[in-house]
């Protein structure tokens, strides 16, 4: 192979070490930092098997990559463990002028980058979360290829454990060497790949079929769909986020069904529906075209109303919860928070009422979005004493210090700030430790289990006591009966919220006797 071509491949892959091997896997040429990566001199590696560079358990995966690499193709990088125990990213290319020889490069993982995505242990592909993260960064000119392998677990069950592992590794290798920029396993039977749309079909169905038949099995019909990431009328971010939502929904619901004959049309329909829905909701948010219902939060001893919580309502009540989830999943919760805040503050200015409204963790964590929220609240400071802000854990807050400063700024303006759905997320205790808050609202799923077991009650009572010791007011959700209200009060909760204490009302400005209850 010409020296110039070798160096070109070396630079192109941004590698630390390059080696070239023949058709039998014997190293013919080396260049770069071999001592640092593989702890052996370059000259000592020539004439040895390339497989010796890797941990024995990685031999089969490396061999599968080599076998599937065709002349003119390039694959990787993908992560492998070296014989030294270190991790390295392997890339491979097989240029036409190099005959049967294969050039490989090794590079240290980028320790300065974000945490490497989780890897599916059976295929070596990135997990669904890793694939989602890659989709979020994809270009509008990219496309998604999706394949579903009906009955894949049952196929593996027909093989010995070792052969089943080999089959899954072969499937993973076939996707890795398909020319995709990212390939991942998104469900038990489905796989996805991202590549420039100009590449057209990646032929994944044929590659996976070949891997299955090579193991002596009869391959099922494997459907392959190709979906471009173009989305007329949407920003690049919205286009990618809608793709993430659709893939997430696909992975969770199992659709397209195994018996579907036209997966491409079905999946494209899901994509189109999602994008249309996103555009509709964005218009709804921008126009403030939604209503607010107000549910009382009461003192558990006197049953007097402490304040109300503002609850968003869309045209169809049954769709409200799903629509809110959709808004959060599509990354537009920030804009929605600002629209709700504006609408609720208008109501508080018109009546002598105390109202709480929700703000997502994403808004608190975003300097730009929080800046806009703070500007709105600063202009309405005269109603701060009657306004409460509930921070929801819809998005994990990573920078606790910055979020703590944001919360302190709201409290310094006179607003009361609390944590919603406390106990539901793994970060709740961390938030309580990091943030100075006025109240916490315990997740209803914890409250409704009161009395189910001494262990649960002890844990819940301990959390309530912790809050009280910190001077934080406690609110129990889902109070559905007199008995539940009594138990919550005995456990130490200050306030409660639920149908037994009062349903949501549509018009908080009307006299109490004329307030109309909202949907249940």
Same domain, 448 and 497: yes
Same domain, 337 and 264: no
pLDDT value at 498 more than 60 = yes
- Beta-carbon contacts of 348 under 8 Å, excluding residues fewer than 6 positions away, are 354, 355, 380, 383, 386, 387
Give CA separation, 211 vs 174, 180, 215, 271, 495, in Å: 8, 18, 7, 30, 61
Confidence of residue 409 (pLDDT cuts 50, 70, 90): very high
60 domain-assigned: yes
Name the residue range of residue 249's domain.
128-279
Min mean pLDDT across 153-157, 178-182, 448-452 is at 178-182
117 domain-assigned: no
Long-range CB pairs of 345-352 (<8 Å, 24+ gap) are 345/376, 345/377, 345/380, 345/383, 345/387, 347/292, 347/508, 347/509, 348/380, 348/383, 348/386, 348/387, 349/380, 349/382, 349/383, 350/509, 351/508, 351/509, 352/386
- Give all strands of the β-sheet with 27-32 in edge-to-edge order: 27-32, 17-21, 102-107, 87-93, 74-81
- Beta-carbon contacts of 406 under 8 Å, excluding residues fewer than 6 positions away, are 364, 370, 374
d(CA 119, CA 111): 17
- What CATH code is carried by the domain that includes residue 48? 3.30.450.20
What tokens were used for 475? 């609110």
Domain boundary (279, 306, 335) is at: 279
Q: Decide: helix, strand or coil at residue 89.
A: strand
Same domain, 341 and 478: yes
Same domain, 371 and 470: yes
Domain count for the chain: 3
The angle that helices 320-329 and 333-350 make with each other, rounded to 10 degrees, is: 130
List, as one string, the DSSP characters of 159-181: S-HHHHHHHHHHHHHHHHTTT-S
What tokens were used for 176? 């890795």
In the predicted model, what is the mean pLDDT of the chain?
79
Same domain, 134 and 244: yes
122 domain-assigned: no
- What CATH code is carried by the domain that includes residue 300? 3.20.20.450
Which residue do the tokens 């402490």 mark? 306
pLDDT tens column, 5-25: 443 343 334 456 778 888 888
d(CA 387, CA 307): 9
Same domain, 234 and 353: no
Same domain, 492 and 404: yes
pLDDT tens column, 42-91: 677 888 888 888 887 777 777 777 776 777 666 666 777 888 888 888 87
Same domain, 185 and 265: yes
Torsion of CA 457, 460, 464, 466, to 10 degrees: 110
116 domain-assigned: no
Domain boundary (227, 261, 279) is at: 279
What tokens were used for 298? 């009461």
123 domain-assigned: no
115 domain-assigned: no
Same domain, 247 and 296: no
Confidence of residue 110 (pLDDT cuts 50, 70, 90): low
Widest CA span in the chain: 91
**Beta strands at 87-93 and 74-81: parallel, antiparallel or unpaired:** antiparallel
355 domain-assigned: yes
Average pLDDT over every residue of 494-517: 79
Task: Count CB-CB contacts under 10 A for residue 438.
Answer: 16
- What CATH code is carried by the domain that includes residue 195? 3.30.70
8 A C-beta contact, residue 195 and residue 145: yes
pLDDT value at residue 7: 38
Same domain, 336 and 447: yes
Same domain, 132 and 70: no
112 domain-assigned: no
Q: Name the residue with higher pLDDT: 120 or 344.
A: 344
Domain boundary (107, 138, 162) is at: 107
Same domain, 215 and 345: no
pLDDT tens column, 123-137: 888 888 778 777 777
């Amino acid at each position: 192979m010409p020296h110039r071509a070798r160096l070109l491949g070396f630079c192109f892959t941004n590698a630390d070490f390059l080696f070239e091997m023949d058709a039998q896997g014997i190293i013919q040429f080396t260049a770069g930092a071999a001592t640092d990566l593989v702890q052996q001199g370059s000259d000592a590696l020539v004439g040895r098997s390339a497989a010796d560079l890797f941990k024995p358990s990685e031999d089969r995966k490396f061999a599968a990559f080599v076998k599937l690499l065709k002349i003119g193709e390039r694959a990787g990088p993908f992560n492998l463990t070296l014989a030294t125990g270190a991790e390295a990213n392997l890339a491979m290319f097989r240029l036409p002028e190099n005959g049967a020889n294969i050039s490989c490069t090794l590079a240290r993982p980028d320790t300065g980058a974000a945490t490497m995505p989780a890897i599916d242990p059976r295929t070596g592909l990135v997990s669904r979360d890793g694939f989602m993260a890659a989709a979020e960064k994809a270009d509008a000119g990219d496309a998604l290829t999706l394949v579903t392998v009906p009955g894949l677990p049952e196929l593996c069950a027909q093989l010995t454990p070792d052969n089943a592992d080999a089959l899954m590794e072969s499937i993973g290798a076939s996707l890795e060497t398909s020319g995709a920029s990212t390939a991942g396993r998104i469900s038990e039977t489905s796989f996805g790949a991202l590549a420039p749309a100009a590449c057209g079909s990646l032929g994944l169905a044929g590659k996976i079929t070949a891997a299955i038949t090579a193991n002596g099995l009869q391959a099922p019909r494997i459907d392959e769909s190709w979906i471009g990431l173009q989305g007329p009328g949407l920003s690049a971010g919205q286009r990618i986020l809608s793709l993430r939502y659709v893939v997430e929904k696909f992975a969770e619901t199992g659709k397209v069904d195994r018996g579907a004959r036209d997966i491409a049309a079905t999946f494209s329909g899901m994509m189109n529906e999602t994008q249309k829905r996103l555009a509709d909701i964005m218009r709804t948010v921008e126009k403030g075209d939604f209503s607010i219902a107000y549910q009382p939060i009461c003192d558990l001893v006197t049953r007097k109303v402490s304040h109300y919580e503002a609850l968003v309502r869309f045209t169809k009540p049954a769709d409200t919860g799903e629509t809110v989830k959709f808004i959060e999943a599509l990354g537009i919760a920030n804009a929605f928070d600002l629209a709700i805040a504006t609408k609720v503050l208008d109501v508080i200015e018109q009546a002598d009422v105390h109202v709480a409204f929700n703000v997502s963790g994403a808004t608190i964590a975003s300097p730009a979005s929080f800046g806009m929220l703070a500007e709105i609240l600063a202009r309405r400071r005269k109603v701060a004493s009657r306004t409460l802000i509930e921070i929801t854990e819809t998005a994990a807050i990573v920078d606790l210090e910055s979020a703590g400063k944001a919360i302190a700024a709201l409290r310094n303006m006179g607003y009361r700030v609390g944590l919603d759905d406390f106990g539901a997320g793994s970060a709740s205790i961390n938030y309580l430790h990091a943030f100075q808050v006025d109240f916490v609202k315990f997740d209803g799923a914890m409250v409704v289990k009161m009395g189910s077991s001494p262990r649960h009650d002890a844990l819940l009572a301990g959390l309530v006591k912790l809050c009280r010791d910190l001077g934080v007011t406690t609110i129990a959700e889902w109070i559905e009966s007199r008995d539940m209200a009594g138990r919550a009060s005995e456990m130490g909760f200050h306030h409660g919220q639920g149908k037994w204490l009062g349903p949501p009302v549509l018009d908080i400005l009307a006299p109490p006797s004329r307030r109309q209850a909202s949907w249940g």
